[in-house]
Amino acid sequence: MCGRYVMARAVGDLLAEFDAQLEEEVHLPPSWNVAPTDAVPIVLERLIDDGPVRQLHLARWGLVPSWAKDPGIGPKMINARSETVLEKPAFRKAVKSRRCAVPADGYYEWKQGTGKAKQPYYVHPGKGSGLVFAGLYEWWKDPSKADGDPGRWMLSTSILTADTPPPGAESTIFGKLTALHDRVPLPMDRATMESWIDPQIDDAAFLVDLVRAHVKDAASEWHVDSVGTEVGNVRNNSPELIRPVEALF
């Protein structure tokens, strides 16, 4: 599962890294404590004038299906299980034609202790590099707003997850992640990402299998650091949240 993560890179850095462009200006402050319903950057490709155009957009984290009555369902849709994404009504249309990449610097996971005690951990690629998750996006039209209202259409996103550890990865970093949670957000290397966001590929089952098959390599250099419990409060947001500290247990 991925319920909190870090995205502290600037818009310009993301545009350069992903060779993307903006459809409109966006305001993206750095965040060391991204939470559900926050606005997050996503990278997608759209067919414009018969050719793919790569764009950076801000989307609400927590996918709102086009058929939803209101956006309240979004917080329950921050993650999409890759094993069932092709069948679930909330995701099956998006996985066929609205796939995206979700940039991040790392994510948080909690280890359950005795009673209510929980120890947070920061999972990241190390060496100052970023990572990118396989994601989906969807547009939802607010029926309460008039045509022409710039807020009538809401863009939202979800991050794909897989069981932990994937087959054959028990001796890798996934061995540590298993002790934290039985789900892991699906990372992508650059080549896999290029295929995943390509709008001209319509074989969704092939793409889901492709991402799952490369998760071991994409996460091979991940690190897991114990961090302070302050990250549990969404109001806390500073680089101090990712500073390694001694674990409580």
> What residues are annotated to the active site?
2, 109
> What backbone torsions phi and psi does residue 161 show, to the nearest 5 degrees?
-130, 165
Closest by Cα among 137, 123, 134 to 214: 134
Strand blocks (E) in the chain = 5-7, 21-22, 31-34, 39-48, 51-61, 79-81, 99-104, 106-112, 118-124, 131-141, 153-163, 183-185, 223-226
Tell me the chain's radius of gyration from C-alpha atoms.
18
Check: CB of residue 167 under 8 Å from CB of residue 179.
no
Dihedral over alpha carbons 9, 15, 18, 21 (to 10 degrees): 150
| CA–CA gap between residue 102 and residue 99 (Å, rounded) | 10
Q: Work out the number of other CB atoms within 10 angstroms of the CB of residue 98.
A: 21
Q: What region, left, alpha or beta, does residue 5 occupy, with left being phi > 0 and alpha being psi -120 to 50 degrees?
A: beta
At 197, list the tokens: 């966001």
54 and 18 Cβ atoms separated by less than 8 Å: yes
